[in-house]
Every structure is written in structure tokens, then in C-alpha cells.
Amino acid sequence: MFSLKQNCWFIKKVVIWRAVASIAWSVLLLPVTTAVFVLLSRFSLFHPIQWISECTSLLTASTTIFTLVVLCGVVLMIGFFNLEFYTLVPSIRCSRMSLLGTVLHPRQCVHSLVYCTMGMLVMWCASVTIGGRYSTLGTPCRQSESGEFVTCLNEYHLFLLLAGAFMGYSHSFLGVVQNMYYVSFQPIQQYKYPRFKGSLPAVVKGSVIQSLYSARNFAALYFFFGYVPKTWIASTLNLQIDSSLQPLDSLTGLLDFSLLYHLAISGTFLYLTWYLTVLLFRIYVTEAYSFPVQSTFTEDSEQCLPKVLTEKNTSVMKFLALQDLALLSQHSLSRRREVFSLSQPGGHPHNWNAISKECLSLLSELTQRLVAHQDAVASNGRVKSQSASSDIRSASSSSSGTEDILETPRLSVPLRTPGSVFKSSVGGAHSALTAPFTPDVDSPFSSPAIRRLVGQQDPHSPWFGTVQSPHVMRRGPKLWSASTESQANGSPLASPATIPSPPAANQKPSFLTQWMQNRREQLPEASSQALFADSQAHIWALQGLSHLVAASFSEDQFGVVQTTLPSILSCLVVLLEAVDRHFKLPHASSKPARTICSMGDSTYKTLRFALRAALKTAIYKITTTFGEHLNAVNISSEHRKRLQQFLEFKE
Amino acid sequence: MDDGLGKGLWGMESVERPLMVIPGTLTVKARVQLRYSSVLYLPHRDMCSLSLFPAPVTAGLTLREHNNELVPGQPHTQWSDLPSPQFTRDSLKGHSRPESSSKSAFLDQRDTLWMRSAGAWRDAGLYGLLDEITCSADEVPRCLSVGSACLLALLRWASSFHGSLFPHLTLSRDEMVAEFSQMLDWSDGALRSFAWHPHTDKFAVALLDDSIKIYKSHSVTSPTLKHRCQRSVCALQWKPLCGSALAVACQSCLLIWHVEPTSLSTRPSSGCAQVLSHPGHSPITSLAWSPTGSLLVSASPVDTAMMVWDVAAESCVPLQRVGGGGVTYLSWSPDGSRLLAATPVWETRMWTCERWPCLKGSCQSACWSPDGGCLLLSIQGERLVYALTFSDLTGGPKAATVVADLSETSFPGPDGELTVGGEVCSLSWDPRGERLAVLLKGDSVADNHPSVIAVFKTRSVPVFELLPCGFVMGEAGAEPRFMQFHPHFQHGALLTVCWSDGRISHVPFYFSSAGLLGESQKQVLASNTTHAPANKLYTEIMS
């Protein structure tokens, strides 16, 4: 299942080591958090000296060392999961049904199970550390009728263990709902330590709040269903239930301040260790990487910026390369010179050509995506198959060459939507977790028609891991999966063909289907969000291009940028028109509610606004730099009219 | 004169003192020995003082600089089509502050304690809640009211202790805004803030009644911006590389107005405004857009962190700095590589911070040279202008030099002596780097000691030089409150001054450039103006 054998040099040389460093730091932080936890868990207001001495002796005890080893194992596991599942492009579910499908997916179930186990492990460590009545599962007790000592079930220990399992599950669940594995980039560059220091308070606050929520929910759950695991464990392990003690699944048993305090503290400890691992991983992975613009040795040429930018499979490398491009275009004079330089024999501007071509293809791919979406909305689903297919053809990308027969001359080479960088097409073939809009055959909610259609589809087809218009998906006749029928007879982009009506239309709508149909139309903004899910790349491309073009005004000695300026300008204006039209659609310009204090990153929800602002700034950057000279650039008259607006600052 | 300069400034160990007397010839070796601080104050070789200035002409409003002289004249001979509106206090006062008076229209209604507590928590936070509980002692258990009273006293004591360390924290919000605003006499004047658009002939004025007016040349419509959250406006700034966005620093939040330049509406709805706020980050007294327009930084004297906003995404990154009493002044260098946040300076490549520990007092005002290599700054309560030079080779600045001494000087005038000089309130450097305007605070008690604007001619290549140019005078009885240079005036420099009588006037300085513009300056100019430079990049295509 885990496919770490991706043979990209960047993964091997950089990402793995960054992940290892982040895990090492989280392991190093473990003793600190454990010490704080020990201090808080044994806190007694009236005996401060005894409290301190107890804690110091406990910290050096062998049991603490052992729990630290167990916690290290848990942190290693979490770090590995981060590395395996992280994504730079969030998977946005366009309806509640698809979300439900993802949560119930077997892969997600396995994930939850692992997290439950790890939660139990952490809670076991916590209960051992707290000691006292929490330390072991079995306690000696006196049987009431015979008076002899037997081993009884220690409900306090069980309570904490189950709380750990619950918190593990809710972490895994919220990871899907809040896109916990989505890694976003900060708008500013900071060194790792100040960044860690800056986000530490937010992480502590978030883990406290999350732990309080989880403790409340778990207490309620245990109150109603607590006897089930209790009797089951007792009967399996042949333990007695001590009837002399107050059972915890009663109101009086639960209203124990010390128990709730320890539950909240242990929960905070659990979430804090996990969140710190996530935070460190995010900080390390999003650290800027400086790619060389050109290399003197040919064997290093694949590590140079122009080559790296065209890479499609390793999205983390592509993102970091685009970020590096945006940074060098603003901050580094010497590297800009390399971009504008000519190749030594021949005198061709290979660097600039490759970079500008890649940026332009990214941007025009976004334009096509937007236009396709608008067509789909405008036609209100009537010719949706056609537009869907064009959307898919333009947006599809795959590493495999199997679809080459169907291939029309491609206008663009877009990014994939990766589940993780390591997701090869084998690993992610049937993963709803990673490819949100692909048909999910394994899911219990997929209709037979989908299964039939998907049955003939090979995992290398462009359907897997592609960015598709979620709108198309919404209009489709299937429950929540994309309109797969169009891919079977994928019509090329240039020739609009009539598509036969979907074969599933003759199915009788059952009550369940109708209920699901209702659920499907519930998240109006999501389609807009999903269209712009990977727009961070576009924003960097815009910044990089505009700053390079602006810098070329004074730095480009050979005039290499002049030749591409018309295409850059027209590409930007066309994209601006598409974006403007998109924002006139309903729901597109409504702002999402801000979420506070959660570890999940919600910056993807506002990426479309950021893209619009970056686009306008990019055009302004070029127009203010070139000024009246733009009149001499060979572009069409409508575009010139639009640029004139920018020259007069009327946008 | 050196001794007079030195008092209160040196603030260093006596070991270093002998080094500082050497004017302007500090060697690298000597610099290395100074371990205690990164900044030294050295009297500049060519230090300028007010006694070198030509005597101020009190005959009337200064109209323009022409042939190296400031020409006075009558205000009716306005030279340009730039709007110069005038606002009087009386016309603005009528409809201000309706919130405080609307309470009387409602009957007094006693809510339950629970409702009142919830309201107090919502309105005034923990303080309000504790206050409410303490006040309604007869409705709550005695232990609760006593406990809340004790907690309240403890909180007050702690905050007063904190306030004794940083005295400005004890001020009320309005007082704090008035203290740190660049507008002189902020609370009394009709004008609250002013900002030129960086690319077009358009400016925004914040007024006493918390509204903002936007004026354009060649346009009769002047949109008025009003918003529920727009109170006590302290600073305004237009977004660079954008035609419409205006950032407004308000008492409780940050507002980003999107005013369509082509729109004919005189009253844009409050839906055009984005509200950015962060708990604990108010009142905001300073803001700065990055020159590329991608980031916005805001600062509050209460908050030790400054916020870096990604405006479109409405997300912010707090840049925390432990200690200190908050950030009061922000200024981005024109090339975008450094940001001055009084008093730490952040460099914006990796957002690290340089500290200048030996600055006494907080920085009142500062301005960057057009190429970002030189920073002039003034310190609250002082009569000196300091210069700091940055270069990529040495990293941060090693020494601050005193470049101008602006202590009081008397000039004989027609109606007795006229004293000028005093505390430096505001500094402004024109975009070509040739004129520097300094707003000097006068003595409000003495009648012959008004606030004035002193203008210097400056040159930064090959060595930094300040030469006296003259004083900009207003009409009789009017004192300058605020000034800003037009960002792209073609015939020299254009200084816009806000006067105490609510008038906004423009004073052009006609000069031909010294021809010493560096490469980077040219570039900045090119990016700031749509005016075509002489060298054509493209050959015209036949159309």
C-alpha cells in the first residue's frame, strides 16, 4: 500500500530528509512535553515541595523511560503517516455524500484503526505516568460475599484507554473533514525556529480546545454506552467488576473533578504531541528550496529550475520550484541574470523559454478549467457531457502513456491533484481519499452503473488523480462520483460531438437515491473552491512571471523577454477575463466563514480571492513598468483596450 | 555644537566615548571594538541646522519653489487642477458619534443577571464580566462577588504594573491613537489622515466625523466612505499596483476598501470593505503595504506582535517580539527589502529582525531614501534627524549619524522675532530623493513659535548631503499638521500639506534633477510613473 519507491531525486534527497529531521525534532520535544504533563498531572496546590520532589523522582524512573520509548514509537508512526498522506492540493468534497463516502472508505477505516491504537497507546502511557488509581487495568479487590481478594477491572484505566481510542478516531475523522494533511505555504518566508515559535501558542491553544471538546463528547458517549466495553473487557479478561465502587457510566461517577481534569490533561498531551509532529512536518516541508537556474555539468541538469518546473508527478517539487521562481524573481539579481542569459554555444535563451513556457501553460490550463466550468454552468447541465469531456481532456494528465491514442494536441500540462507525493498510480488506484472526484468503486454507495463503467477502466487512465470540475460532477446522474460515461467515449476538445445520454438514466430513483440527491447539492461554494484548489502554484507562477518581466525592463541585456511578452500579456488578460466571469457566478464571491483554533488549514478556501488579487497585481506590475511602451507590443485590440484600463489605473 | 548634540544621545559606556568625537571618520577597526550596540550616533560632517536657513517669509502662503527660492503669494492663484478641499470643524461635528446618544431613546430595562453577564462578556471581555458580577452583589452569592472583586483588583494591579513599565498602555484608545498618529494634533483637527495614491492623481482624506473622502483630479465626484467599524482613523494607505484598494487603520480593526475607480457612486456601500481583525490587535496606529502590493503589515501600540496580512485570503501571520511596548510606526523601504517597525527593523527576505537597543525613546517618524539604502529617522521628543545607511555588503547599519539639528532658532521678522524649530514630528522625502520636508512642532503657548515645515535639498550620491532650502509657510494663523510628497510629480516635487484650518494645499518645487540618479532610482521612478522615459525599448510597429 505504501509506495515509497518513487524514483524522483527530490523525494529521495530532500523530502525524506526533511521529514526525518521533523520527526527527530518531534522526538526530541517529547521529554519536554512529558515533563510538563507530569508536572500538571501531579499538581497539588497545598503541597508544592512534595509535588516537585515527586515529579523529579518520577521523571527519572524506569517506567517513564519506557513510556517515552512507547511515545517515540507513536511519534514515528505519526510522522510516517504525515509523510505518506500529506498533500499540497486539498481534496475538496463537493457534497456531504462524498464526504461520507470518504469517511466510510476501507482505507480511511484502516487509518482510523491505526489512530485508535496509537491513541490508546498514548493514553496508556499517560495513565501509567499519572499513576495512582489509573495505573493498571486490574486491581485487587475484596469480593463482597466471600471476602477473598480477586482481580477486579479498574474502570478508571479503561476509561482513559477508551478516551484515547476515541480521540484517535476523532483525530483521524477530523483529519478528513478539516483536511489535516493539507500543507499550505505561508505568505512570508521565515526561518524554521521563529516560525515554530510563532505558531506554538496557536498549537497549544488548539490542542487544549480540541481536547476539551473530545473529553466532553467522550464523557457523553461513555455515559450512554460505557457498559458495553466494560462488560466485554471484563468477561474477556475474566475480571470481576467491583460493585463497591461507583460505576463511571453514571452521572455521579462522571462528575468527578479529578477524573475529568486528568482526562482533559491527558487529551491535551495526546493532541499536543500529535499536532507538534504535524506542525514540524509542515514547517520542514514548506521550507523554501533553492534550485540552481543552470548548471555547468550536464548530469545535474535535471535538478535545475527549468527542468524541475516541467515535472508533473512530484507536486511537492513543482510547488517548491514555483516558489523558488517567485522568490528569485523578487529578491535575487544574480539568479535573474542567469534566467535571462543565453546558452553558451548557440546563444539561445533556453532558461527563459522553458520557464516562461511552463508558467504560461499552467496559467492557460487554469483558464481552460474556468471556461469549461462556466460553460457547464451556463448550459445548466444540458450539454454537460461535452463540456465535461473537454474539461477532462484539458485537465487530464497522467504519467502513463496509455491514453496517447486519444490524445489531441494538448494545450496545457497541468498539475495533478495528488493524494500524496508518493502516490504512484498503483498505490492510489482506488483511493477515494486521494482522488476526491474519481469514481469510488470500493465505496458502499456507488451504484452498479458506476461499477460497470469503471470496470473497464485501467488505473493508468487520465481519470486518476486529475482535477475535474466538481460542477460537472454535481450535474452528473451518479450519486457523488464524476460523470464517468464521458470518459468512455472521450471526445477531443476541438470537435464537439453529441454524447449519448447516460446509461444510468433508466434506473428507478429509489427513496435512498432521492435522499442522497438532496444531500449532494449542499455545499455550494465547494465547486468554486475545488476549481482553485491548486492555485498556490498559479499565484507563484504569476508572481514569478510578472517580476521577471518587470525586471527585464532594466536587466535583460539580450531582449529575450521581448519575444514572449505578447503571449504573456494575452495569457494574463485572457485569464483575467475568465476569472472575472467566474466571480460573477453565484456563490463564487461569497467568503467562507473563518474557522478558529483548529489544526486543519483552511487557506484553500480563499485561494480564489488570492489568485484574483495576484493576477491584477501581476498585470499592474508589468503595465507600470513598461508604461507607454506597451502600445508597441503586438497584441490584439481588445487586449490592448483592457491593458489601457490598467495603464490608467481604472481596474 | 557637538556637546549640545550629545546630551541624552550617547547613552553608552564611557569607554566608547572618545571614539565618537572623531567626526565621521570612524574606521572599521574601531567599529569592531564596540560590542554593546550596533548603532552609534555620530555627528555628521555636513550637519545642517536651522540657522543656515533663509529667514521665513510670513507674508502669505508659500506657493512654490522656483529658481531655488520659495515664492510666497496669495492663495487664489492656485496653479494646478489638483483638488484642494477645505474642511471646517463645525461642518463635520454635527453628525458625529451618534452611538453615545441613542441610549436615551430606550427605556431602562433590567435584564436577568445571566443576560447582563453575557452582554458584559461580549462587550468588554473578562473585565466587564467581573465588573458586572461585583456591581450586582445583592443578586449573586456573597463568595462569588467577593471573589470577582478580588480578581478584578488583582487584574487592575497587574495591568497597572505593566502600564508603569510601558506608560502608553495606560492611555485610552483615543489618546493612544492621538499620541502615535503622524497627524499633529490629531484629536482636534478636522483632518485625521491623508494619503496619496502611489500611481495616480488621487488622494484620500480621513475626517473628524470618521468618514473618508476620495478626491481625483479631473473628476467632480468625490466618494465618501463610511463604515460601522470605521472609527478613529489613524492611518490610510493605498495599495501599490492596484487601482482601487485602500487600507484604513481604525480603532478596532483594519478596513480594506475596494473603491472602483470608474464608479460614479458617491457613497460606496460597506459591502465594498473587507474587515480584518485579530484579537488583541487594536487600536491600529500604523500600516504599510509592501511595494509589490502583496502583503500588508499592521501594528498596534498595545500588541507586541505585528501582523503580516495576506489581504485576499484574510489570513495573517503574527511576527512576535518579546518585550517592548508594541510597535508604533511602520515604514517599508521603496525597494521592498526592509521594513522599519519602530523600533526593530525587519528584513523581508527571511523576516529576521535587527534590534537597535540603544535608541532612547520611541521612533516618531522615519523615511527611506528612494533606493532603500538610507533611512532618516527622528525620535520622540528630540530635535535631531538621524541617518542610517544600509548596504547589502555589510548587512545592517553600523552607525547612525546625526544629519540635522533642528533646535529652536530665532529669525527677525516684521512683527518681532519669529522662533522656529523644535521637536521633529514627521519626515517626508520626495520620490526622487532631492527634497526632504521636516515638520517641526512649535510651542502652542508662545504666539511667535508656530509649527513649521522646513525643507532641505538632499543628495545621497556620492555622499549624503543636506542643504537648506526654506520654510513652507501657511496663511496667517494656519499651522501645518501633516505633509506628504506626491509620488510621481513630473517637474520636481510636490508637497501636499494639511493645515490646521482644515485646508489641503499643494506646494510644488520646480527643479531639474541633478542627473545623479542611480540605476535603482531610475527603476523606481520608472515603476512609479507612467511617464515614458527617454530610451525607447521597442521600435514602433506600423499599425
CA–CA separation, B117 and A236 (whole Å): 52
Task: Choose the weakest-confidence range: A415-429, A516-530, A578-592, B159-173.
Answer: A415-429
CA distance A496 to chain B (A): 36
Interface test with A, best of B393, B528, B537, B542 (most A CBs within 10 A): B537
A82-141 pLDDT, tens digit each: 999 998 998 888 788 888 888 889 999 999 999 999 999 999 999 998 888 888 888 888
Q: By CA distance, what is B535's nearest residue in A?
A: A629
- Residues of A with Cβ-Cβ distance to B314 under 8 angstroms: 591, 594, 606, 609
Per-residue model confidence (pLDDT) at position A464: 37
CB atoms within 10 A of CB A132: 11
A561-614 pLDDT, tens digit each: 988 999 999 999 999 999 999 999 887 777 776 665 567 777 888 899 999 999
Residue linked to cell 501645518:
B480
Per-residue model confidence (pLDDT) at position B373: 81
Q: Which of A198, A614, A616 sits opposite B320 (nearest CB)?
A: A198
Task: Choose the weakest-confidence range: A441-445, A538-542, B443-447.
Answer: A441-445
Q: Which of A194, A543, A625 sits opposite B526 (nearest CB)?
A: A625
CA–CA separation, A51 and A48 (whole Å): 5
Residue A122 corresponds to which cell in the numbers above?
A: 498514548
Q: How close are the terminal C-alpha atoms of chain A, in Å?
A: 51
Q: Say whether the peptide bond before residue A314 is cis (omega within 30 degrees of 0).
A: no
pLDDT in tens, chain B (543 residues): 333 333 333 333 222 222 222 222 222 222 222 222 334 444 455 577 888 888 777 666 777 787 777 877 766 555 567 888 888 887 776 444 445 555 566 666 667 778 888 877 776 677 778 888 888 777 778 888 888 888 888 888 887 776 666 767 777 778 888 888 888 888 888 899 999 999 988 999 999 888 999 999 888 888 999 998 898 899 999 999 998 899 999 988 999 999 988 888 889 988 889 999 888 888 898 999 999 888 999 988 888 888 899 998 888 888 877 655 678 888 888 888 888 877 555 566 667 666 665 555 667 888 888 888 888 888 877 888 888 887 665 556 666 788 888 888 888 877 778 888 888 888 999 988 889 999 988 887 777 888 889 999 888 777 788 888 888 888 878 889 999 999 988 888 899 999 988 889 888 888 887 554 444 444 444 444 333 333 333 333 333
CB atoms within 10 A of CB A15: 23
Q: How close are the terminal C-alpha atoms of chain B, in Å?
A: 67
CB atoms within 10 A of CB B231: 18
Report CB contact under 8 Å: B293, A607. no
* DSSP string across B105-172: GS------HHHHHHHHHHHHHHHHHHHHHHHTTTTS-HHHHHHHHHHHHHHHHHHHHHHHHSGGGGS-
Count of A–B CB contacts within 8 Å? 121
Average pLDDT, chain A: 78
Q: What is the pTM of this model?
A: 0.79
Q: What is the largest CA-CA distance in chain A?
A: 104
- Residues of B with Cβ-Cβ distance to A194 under 8 angstroms: 351-352
CA–CA separation, B158 and B164 (whole Å): 10
* DSSP string across B387-404: EEE-BTTTBS---EEEEE
* DSSP string across B49-83: EGGGSPPPP-SSEEEEEETTEEEEE-TT---SSS-
A161-197 pLDDT, tens digit each: 999 999 999 999 988 888 889 998 988 888 999 899 9
Q: Which of A189, A591, A617 sits opposite B292 (nearest CB)?
A: A617
CA distances from B438 to B232, B405, B486 (A): 25, 11, 15
Q: Which of A627, A632, A649 sits opposite B541 (nearest CB)?
A: A632
- Residues of B with Cβ-Cβ distance to A603 under 8 angstroms: 313, 315
pLDDT at A69 over 90: yes
Per-residue model confidence (pLDDT) at position B173: 79
ipTM: 0.79
Q: Which of A331, A614, A650 sits opposite B261 (nearest CB)?
A: A650
Mean pLDDT of A548-563: 91
- Residues of B with Cβ-Cβ distance to A188 under 8 angstroms: 295, 308, 317, 348, 351
Interface test with A, best of B197, B289, B290, B315 (most A CBs within 10 A): B315
Report CB contact under 8 Å: B242, A191. no
CB-CB contact of B443 with B453 (8 Å): no
**Would you say how long chain B is, in residues?**
543
Residue A329 corresponds to which cell in the numbers above?
A: 524573481
| B539 touches A at CB < 8 Å | yes
At position A496, the amino acid (one-letter code) is P
Report CB contact under 8 Å: A634, B541. yes
Interface test with B, best of A579, A617, A648 (most B CBs within 10 A): A617
With b for 16 or more beta-carbon neighbours within 10 A and e for fewer, the A54-64 pattern comes to bbeebbeeeeb
- Residues of A with Cβ-Cβ distance to B241 under 8 angstroms: 616-617, 620-621, 624
